[in-house]
């Protein structure tokens, strides 16, 4: 039998219950293996209940002191009731100076007190009882999160000025640096918003004309890391040059915003028809492929025909985006009629072009000519695919340093990577 004896407006502040005739403090804290809040109880006395009823500050201090014990219990362990009970008199009944001294020795949940209005300056000076005079039953979680973020920055030696803070709040990254940035002008002090917009204008000019393309090797919505790096470098340099007093954290949040927006635009755009956008106007249209077969390393095949309504490059890269995975990184484009094709090795940044020199007859195996080339990123692969679907084997001559065997490819790879090898 459980009855609630005392509770506050906030459901998370510990309640006092009577269970089987015994007074207990009950609180929800931590989480179990299913991520549901755990419930803990431990016995208290009538004198403790009287203080909990009358003194919000002491009630919150007790909560703050007990929470580390709940964390120590983990997802399924038992609360150390002896340790919890041992906190009752020192937190609830001792003189303020003794409580302050206690909190200088034990772990406690600072964020809980700050969320409930504790004076941060007094807390920092170790005057926890005085800090709780400003306490409220309702909580402001954002206040605690911002304080925690500032403490993390201070540990890194970061000091933010008003404009730095405004930029981080504008992008929504003031509290959580890993949050995908957005544009939140209402989060900024109106007096600082014009200055924030001037910084953003600098960044937008720096990345004008740059784009972040798709990288189907990493999935349907993945973007090109190299493009991201180029845009990030351009924005960083421009902002630092025009606004030299801005902190590194603020510069990073601006470049992150620009890159994220560019990446989103790319993800929302269908895969490009590369041979149309990058083709040479002087090329003979008769060299363009009309029927091609796409295959992956798992044996899945897709046919493309010129009358399908989409270009070969677009359909091939869509096929890659759908099928590419950590164990599926070899893709082939083949012209079965001519007996030629290209094979892309995403795991090795290389490719091979294959031509049938002699077809197999009378039980003999066909003879192939195979040449290899290193490829520089997704841009290099796009160029290669585009050239092949426009002009076949011959069109690849100027799009790679084609080597006659795999051993030559490995030597070229070692030279590129600065490694020695025979």
pLDDT digits 0-9 by tens, 228-259: 999 999 999 999 999 999 999 999 999 999 99
What average pLDDT score do residues 391-419 get?
88
What pLDDT was estimated at residue 208?
94
Average pLDDT over all residues of the chain: 90
What average pLDDT score do residues 282-294 get?
75
* Cβ atoms of residues 99 and 129 within 8 Å: yes
Residue at which a domain ends, from 143, 167, 199: 143
200-236: b (≥16 Cβ within 10 Å) or e: bebbbebbeeeebbbbbbbeeebbbeebbebbbebbb
Query: How far apart, in whole angstroms, are the C-alpha atoms of residue 149 and residue 132?
Result: 21
Q: 355 and 332: one domain?
A: yes
What pLDDT was estimated at residue 36?
81
What pLDDT was estimated at residue 284?
57
State the pLDDT confidence band at 283, using cuts at 50, 70 and 90.
low
Q: Is the pLDDT of residue 280 over 70?
A: no
Number of domains in the chain: 3
Q: 356 and 243: one domain?
A: no
Query: How far apart, in whole angstroms, are the C-alpha atoms of residue 262 and residue 264?
Result: 5
Report the percentage of the chain scoring pLDDT > 70. 95
Q: 250 and 374: one domain?
A: no
Of 113-117, 357-361, 414-418, give the lowest mean pLDDT range. 357-361
State the pLDDT confidence band at 422, using cuts at 50, 70 and 90.
very low
125-156: b (≥16 Cβ within 10 Å) or e: eebbbbbbeebeeebeeebbbbbebbeebeee
Would the pTM of this model clear 0.85, i.e. be above it? no
Q: Is the pLDDT of residue 271 over 90?
A: no
Q: Is the pLDDT of residue 347 over 60?
A: yes
Q: 102 and 223: one domain?
A: no
Residue at which a domain ends, from 268, 302, 332: 268
Find, among 270, 277, 316, 278, the residue nearest to 295 by Cα. Answer: 316
Query: In this predicted model, what pLDDT tens digit does every residue of 110-127 receive, in sequence order?
Result: 999 999 999 999 999 999
Q: Is the pLDDT of residue 207 over 50?
A: yes
Is residue 382, in this structure, part of any structural domain at all?
A: yes
Is residue 148, in this structure, part of any structural domain at all?
A: no
Domain containing residue 328: 291-420
Q: 176 and 224: one domain?
A: yes
State the pLDDT confidence band at 287, using cuts at 50, 70 and 90.
low
Q: Is the pLDDT of residue 57 over 70?
A: yes
């Amino acid at each position: 039998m459980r009855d609630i004896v005392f509770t506050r407006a906030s459901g998370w502040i510990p309640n006092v219950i009577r269970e089987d005739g015994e007074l207990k403090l009950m609180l929800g804290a931590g989480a179990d293996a299913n991520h549901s809040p755990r419930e803990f109880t431990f016995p208290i006395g009538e004198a403790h209940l009287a203080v909990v009823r009358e003194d919000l500050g002491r009630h919150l201090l007790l909560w703050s002191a007990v929470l580390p014990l709940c964390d120590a219990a983990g997802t399924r362990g038992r609360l150390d009731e002896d340790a919890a009970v041992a906190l009752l008199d020192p937190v609830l009944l001792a003189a303020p100076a003794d409580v302050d001294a206690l909190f200088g020795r034990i772990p406690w949940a600072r964020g809980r007190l700050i969320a409930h209005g504790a004076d941060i300056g007094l807390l920092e000076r170790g005057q926890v009882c005085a800090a709780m005079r400003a306490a409220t039953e309702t909580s402001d979680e954002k206040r605690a999160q911002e304080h925690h973020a500032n403490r993390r920055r201070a540990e890194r030696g970061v000091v933010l000025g008003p404009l730095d803070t405004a930029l981080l709040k504008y992008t929504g990254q003031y509290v959580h640096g890993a949050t995908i940035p957005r544009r939140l002008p209402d989060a900024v002090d109106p007096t600082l918003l014009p200055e924030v917009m001037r910084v953003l204008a600098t960044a937008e000019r720096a990345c004008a004309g740059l784009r972040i393309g798709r990288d189907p090797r990493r999935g349907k919505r993945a973007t090109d890391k190299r493009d991201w790096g180029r845009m990030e470098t351009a924005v960083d340099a421009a902002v630092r040059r025009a606004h030299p007093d801005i902190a590194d954290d603020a510069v990073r949040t601006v470049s992150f915003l620009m890159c994220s927006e560019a990446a989103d635009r790319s993800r929302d755009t269908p895969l490009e028809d590369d041979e149309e956008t990058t083709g040479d106007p002087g090329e003979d249209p008769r060299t363009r492929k009309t029927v091609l077969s796409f295959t992956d390393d798992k044996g899945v095949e897709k046919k493309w025909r010129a009358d399908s309504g989409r270009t070969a490059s677009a359909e091939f890269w869509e096929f890659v985006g759908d099928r590419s995975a950590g164990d599926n990184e070899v893709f082939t484009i083949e012209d079965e009629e001519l007996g030629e094709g290209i094979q892309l090795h995403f795991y090795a940044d290389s490719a091979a072009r294959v031509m049938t020199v002699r077809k197999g007859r009378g039980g003999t195996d066909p003879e192939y000519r195979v040449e290899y080339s290193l490829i520089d990123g997704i841009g290099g692969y796009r160029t290669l695919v585009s050239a092949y679907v426009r002009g076949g084997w011959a069109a690849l001559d100027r799009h790679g340093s084609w080597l006659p065997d795999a051993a030559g490819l490995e030597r070229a790879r070692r030279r590129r990577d600065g490694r020695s090898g025979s």
